[in-house]
Amino acid sequence: MQHKENNRGQADTNMYQITRCRNCHRAIIDLDRMESVFKEFFEQTDFTNKQLARLGSTRAMPHHIFRVAIAGCPNSCSQPQIKDFALQGQAVPVVGEGCTDCGRCVAACPDQAISLAEQGPHIDRSLCLNCGKCAQSCPTGAIATGNIGYRVLRGGKLGRRPQLAQEVCSLTDEQGVLQWLQQTIDLLHREGQPGERLGTLLARIEKNDEKHST
Ligand code: SF4
Ligand code: SF4
Ligand code: SF4
């Protein structure tokens, strides 16, 4: 992939790529909005030219593209686990009054996190992924949607040594997502070797930290 420069010395091809899932009925977050928030961030921070400067070349390979994913819910159809930076929509279920014991929430939960007791539904929070399906399926509002936010992951990649992205925060807001993105790009451009993927850099830093703590 060759990146030409225009007459202002800027690259004609973006050095970032945003993948998003479709606007399906499971989407907890506004996918269109988050896509434009990311685009605005990369444009305003002149990411493409900074990334090319880090490479020391306008000849970029596909693995030099910074890959971002937006997933509307934890189903992760846009594969956030293998992207440099990604977010998933989250909705926390809140248990209230009025359960009629219909069992719809139990059937709807893909993670078997709900059991019904005399007092109503019980949610095992260690199993719950905050997907919002139980609240969507409850006809009485005995399970309702509480906090809505974003789970942020980073450092995923395929290639020679694939690795899954790691969660850096959960249930944050748009501002929190942008702070993590800025911190991540700063780290990549400050510490990353030319051409190094974010996931490789994070693994290298972790290894160094472990070496110095022993
Ligand atoms: S990740 Fe969720 S919101 Fe996005 S397409 Fe898949 S099921 Fe729908
Ligand atoms: S939010 Fe999703 S994972 Fe959690 S209890 Fe409800 S249906 Fe199950
Ligand atoms: S779907 Fe709602 S009303 Fe039905 S069992 Fe679950 S909490 Fe109770």
- For 36, the enclosing helix (H) or strand (E) is helix 31-44
CATH of 16-91+144-206 among 3.50.4.10, 1.10.10.10, 3.30.413.10, 3.90.1410.10 = 3.30.413.10
For residues 5-30, give the mean pLDDT.
80
- Residue 22 Cα to ligand 1 midpoint, Å, equals 7
> Do 146 and 92 form a contact (C-beta atoms < 8 A)?
yes
- Mean residue pLDDT across the chain: 92
Split at pLDDT 50, 70, 90, the class of 8 is very low
- Residue 28 Cα to ligand 3 midpoint, Å, equals 20
Can you tell me whether residue 192 is helix, strand or coil?
coil
Split at pLDDT 50, 70, 90, the class of 17 is very high
Structure tokens given for 116 = 């019904």
pTM exceeds cut of 0.75: yes
Ligand 2 site, residue 143, Cβ cutoff 6 A: no
Structure tokens given for 189 = 């451009």
- Residue 86 Cα to ligand 1 midpoint, Å, equals 14
Pocket of ligand 1 (CB under 6 A): 21-22, 24, 26-27, 71-73, 75-77
DSSP state of 27: -
* pLDDT tens column, 71-128: 999 999 999 999 999 999 999 999 999 999 999 999 999 999 999 998 899 999 999 9
Can you tell me whether residue 39 is helix, strand or coil?
helix
Structure tokens given for 78 = 């846009």
Cα distances (Å, whole numbers) of residue 146 to 87, 92, 132:
19, 5, 9
Split at pLDDT 50, 70, 90, the class of 23 is confident
